[in-house]
Amino acid sequence: MSVNTDRYQTAAARYFEAWNATGPEALGKAVAEAWAPEGGYTDPLADVCGHAQITAVIAAAHEQFPGFVFRPLGAVDGHHDTARFGWELVNEADGSAPVAGFDVVTLNEEGRIRQVLGFLDRVPAGS
């Protein structure tokens, strides 16, 4: 059981590293380490596939929320090739977290993400 738990924890850690990477080179590298080449990302605002498109979605989030970081919210849970976890987008200056959500990820044999299905639980008014 700990082997699978470690697998889910590692995948989630790489996922958060990608979402928090800054600069084009670091972001591209982090996305490549977290996602399989054909990996996808789908949430209410995006439906993309491949490293370049995933990188663009993450870069756009950084532009929309400068000075914010993605942090895990609760524990990572999983079974088979599927993991789930909550997250929030935290303002590093004041600690506020205007955005929160929940993601379900499927992993390939190497533990890299094949697909993310994201849900937004809390968004700022007017978004």
Q: What is the pLDDT of residues 59-70, one digit of tens each?
A: 999 999 999 999
Residue with tokens 């996305």: 31
State residue 1's pLDDT score: 41
Tokens of 43: 């949430």
pLDDT tens digits, one per residue of 71-101: 999 999 999 999 999 999 999 999 999 999 9
More confidently predicted of 65 and 127: 65
* Residue ranges with strand state E in 35-98: 35-43, 46-49, 68-79, 82-91
Per-residue pLDDT at 11: 98
- pTM above 0.85? yes
